[in-house]
Amino acid sequence: MMLVSLSTVFHFGFHSSSNHSHSLRINKYKATQQASEDWYRKPQLPRQTLQRRQSYAERSIALPGYEQDDSNESGAALSITDDHILSRNTSALPPLVRALKASAEENVATFHFPGHNRGHAAPPSLTSLIGIRPYIHDLPELPELDNLFCPQGPILEAQTEAAKLFGASQTWFLVGGTTCGIQAAIMATCSPGEFLILPRNCHISAISAMVLSGAVPKYIVPDYKNDWDIAGGVTPSQVLKAMQELEREGKKAAAVFITSPTYHGICSNLREISELCHSRKIPFIVDEAHGGHLGFHSEFPNSALQQGADLTVQSTHKVLCSLTQSSMLHMSGNTVDKENISRCLQTLQTTSPSYLLLASLDAARAQLSESPDIVFNQAIKLAYEARCMLKRIPGISVLESSTFSTSPAIDPLRLTVGFWQLGLSGYEADEILYRDHGIVCELVGNKYITYAFNLGTCGDHVQRLLSGIKNVATTHAYIRQPEERRHTKHTPFDDIMMSLIPRDAFFASKRKVTAMESIGEVSAELICPYPPGIPVLIPGEVITKEAINYLLHARSEGADISGASDPSLSSIVVCNI
């Protein structure tokens, strides 16, 4: 690769003998970018951005001997050649993807962050794994790429297109995962001291949101199946009961927060819950992290927005196809002040968002919008066939909607399989399936394994899964467990006694004590065994003997203890009050 001196650049740029070829190169580049210029001409864009973008296009001249080297393991300089620029139909790209492509392909002298400088100094150890292109497109908040917190160009256009597709009045792109979306939704609706109705098995982001907002929790304990060690959804009657209990005390919930679908795909009756909320003018928030695909096929349950939710947060990277960590927050109607949402997101999200993550959200939206009615046909077919085949295997249990009579539906793309009749725990079965068949699951519990089907699921992998599970059932004796062993002796309890709100417990001084010494103290930790995934200790609650016994039992059964500073439970952190 030839290095170009400053004198050569100067001579190349101004010597008259080269002017004709330079003009051809510029015109050629401009022609390929014509389609992507449309959004730059929109009147809402700042004038300096338009001028900068047009100026860049005029100065985009590829230097002789300065070609792209995809491997770039030496960290040498690189650029994009004309042939590469002409190789794609720019007009067919989604708006933010189009803008990112155009900006990355400009031949400019760069003196901005990030430090790898468009791949010039990309670490060879990673480029050898993923190539140089992610680095070339890892750009900062350049004017032509728009501003996440004040979108006026391609980000605004991309978010508007997403809102149309998902049926929202407004959509925000998230680079901090669904966590920051849940935090923003709760912070925007709950002020310090106000009550939030939510399930006890909510995601930890809802607890952290109460720490940030100062909201007071009003917990609902969801339906729970002992034989599966799985919690179900929340019923409208449970929400109504929580509302009425507050009303009898002369109080009112500032918001209702529901998780639907759950990790296992179990859905709640959101339509009736939304009617309850709206009859009392209470904002309704749904953690729909696992349901970005809902509503796009007749076999799917309706989405939260279709059922009347005011705010819903989706992990677009789960079943849909954006990059991990990218999510969307959707709003419907005007129950919640959208400016409050924007302010909260600006507080919570990074001021240096990844445009790769943002562009992947735009790309995932475009992918889904091409054929939303049929894009999931193959995944649904494969999941249905797998479910039918597994139900025929002796000793294998399959979670179905009938398991939870209060749940209106289970996501058909979530397949949960029980192994307890074979005398195997989920952990043991998963180890065998991974070791002998190379099968990687989404979630493993004491009695089950959950498999996630998606747009990338292929028939060969499903056949491997079926063959593997059949082999496990064949090689292990069909042992129907005695009734007392099939059911968990300890179940999540609802004798909650709160001494401090989560925010006060978070900021309180703390100390470590033994598990037995913690009884009667106020928990400073959120401790949640998986399975079943229901928090047993939440900051601010009084620790009971039943809670400690349940945790110790869950740990002895092989559950992972999440949130505890000491996962062995030899010690527990409590508040000094």
Q: What is the pLDDT of residues 131-179, one digit of tens each?
A: 999 999 999 999 999 999 999 999 999 999 999 999 999 999 999 999 9
pLDDT value of residue 172: 98
β-partners of residue 530 are: 560
pLDDT at 76 over 50: no
CATH assignment of 502-575, among 3.40.50.970, 3.40.50.720, 3.90.100.10, 3.30.420.270: 3.90.100.10
pLDDT value of residue 557: 73
Instruction: State the pLDDT confidence band at 226, using cuts at 50, 70 and 90.
Output: confident
Mean pLDDT of the 73-86 span? 40
Contact in structure between 186 and 285 (CB atoms under 8 Å):
yes
CATH assignment of 154-370, among 3.30.2270.10, 3.40.50.150, 3.90.1150.10, 3.40.640.10: 3.40.640.10
Element (H, E) at 329: strand 327-331
Longest pairwise C-alpha distance within the chain: 92
Q: CA-CA distance, 408 to 90, in Å (whole number)?
A: 44
Of 120-134, 329-343, 551-565, the range with the lowest mean pLDDT is 551-565
Three-class secondary structure of residue 279 per DSSP = helix
Three-class secondary structure of residue 172 per DSSP = strand
Backbone φ, ψ for residue 399 (5° rounding):
-70, 130
β-partners of residue 196 are: 217, 255
Helix axes 236-248, 270-279, angle to 10 degrees: 20
Q: Which residues contact 380 (CB under 8 A, 6 or more apart)?
A: 297, 299, 412, 413, 453
pLDDT value of residue 411: 98
Instruction: Quote the pTM value.
Output: 0.84
Tokens representing 42 are 């929109």
Q: CA-CA distance, 566 to 516, in Å (whole number)?
A: 14
Instruction: State the pLDDT confidence band at 307, using cuts at 50, 70 and 90.
Output: very high
pLDDT value of residue 66: 33
The percent of residues above 70 in pLDDT, for the chain, comes to 81
Backbone φ, ψ for residue 560 (5° rounding):
-80, 135
pLDDT value of residue 43: 37
Please, is 497 exposed, middle or buried when counting C-beta atoms within 10 Å of its C-beta (0-12, 13-18, 19+)? exposed
Of 208-217, 456-465, 488-497, the range with the lowest mean pLDDT is 488-497
Chain-centre distance of CA 328, in angstroms? 8
3-state secondary structure 176-214: CHHHHHHHHHHHHHCCCCCEEEEECCCCHHHHHHHHHHC
Instruction: State the pLDDT confidence band at 310, using cuts at 50, 70 and 90.
Output: very high
Backbone φ, ψ for residue 518 (5° rounding):
-75, -15
Instruction: State the pLDDT confidence band at 31, using cuts at 50, 70 and 90.
Output: very low
Tokens representing 550 are 């349940």
The percent of residues above 90 in pLDDT, for the chain, comes to 71
At 10, the amino acid letter reads F
User: Domain extents for the chain?
Assistant: 96-101+110-137, 154-370, 376-477, 502-575
145: nearest Cα among 80, 31, 52, 32: 52
pLDDT value of residue 492: 56
pLDDT at 51 over 90: no
pLDDT at 451 over 50: yes
pLDDT value of residue 67: 40
Contact in structure between 166 and 328 (CB atoms under 8 Å):
yes
pLDDT value of residue 77: 40
pLDDT value of residue 405: 87
Side-chain half-sphere CA neighbours of 421 within 13 A? 13
Q: Is the peptide bond before 532 cis (omega within 30 degrees of 0)?
A: yes
Task: Answer with the residue of higher pLDDT: 230 or 359.
Answer: 359
Q: CA-CA distance, 358 to 351, in Å (whole number)?
A: 13
pLDDT value of residue 481: 52
pLDDT value of residue 356: 98
pLDDT value of residue 90: 63
pLDDT at 388 over 50: yes
pLDDT value of residue 513: 97
Of 62-71, 107-116, 132-141, 219-228, the range with the lowest mean pLDDT is 62-71
How far is CA 409 from each of CA 227, 392, 457, rounded to the nearest angstrom? 19, 22, 22
Mean pLDDT of the 95-111 span? 96
The CATH architecture that domain 376-477 belongs to is: Alpha-Beta Complex (3.90)
Q: What is the mean pLDDT of the chain?
A: 85
Q: CA-CA distance, 302 to 319, in Å (whole number)?
A: 15
Mean pLDDT of the 437-448 span? 93
pLDDT at 120 over 60: yes
Q: What is the dihedral of CA 72, 78, 81, 87, to 10 degrees?
A: 50
Tokens representing 191 are 């002020």
Q: CA-CA distance, 549 to 34, in Å (whole number)?
A: 68
pLDDT at 543 over 70: yes
How far is CA 340 from each of CA 188, 189, 359, rounded to the nearest angstrom? 5, 8, 25
pLDDT value of residue 398: 97
pLDDT at 312 over 70: yes
134: nearest Cα among 224, 75, 70, 226: 70
Mean pLDDT of the 469-489 span? 68
pLDDT at 9 over 50: no
Q: CA-CA distance, 193 to 217, in Å (whole number)?
A: 10
Of 96-100, 203-207, 530-534, 573-577, the range with the lowest mean pLDDT is 530-534
Contact in structure between 150 and 136 (CB atoms under 8 Å):
no
Q: CA-CA distance, 570 to 577, in Å (whole number)?
A: 22
Please, is 125 exposed, middle or buried when counting C-beta atoms within 10 Å of its C-beta (0-12, 13-18, 19+)? exposed
Contact in structure between 156 and 179 (CB atoms under 8 Å):
no
How far is CA 506 from each of CA 39, 207, 247, 563, 569, rounded to the nearest angstrom? 47, 10, 28, 13, 19
N- to C-terminal Cα separation, the chain: 68
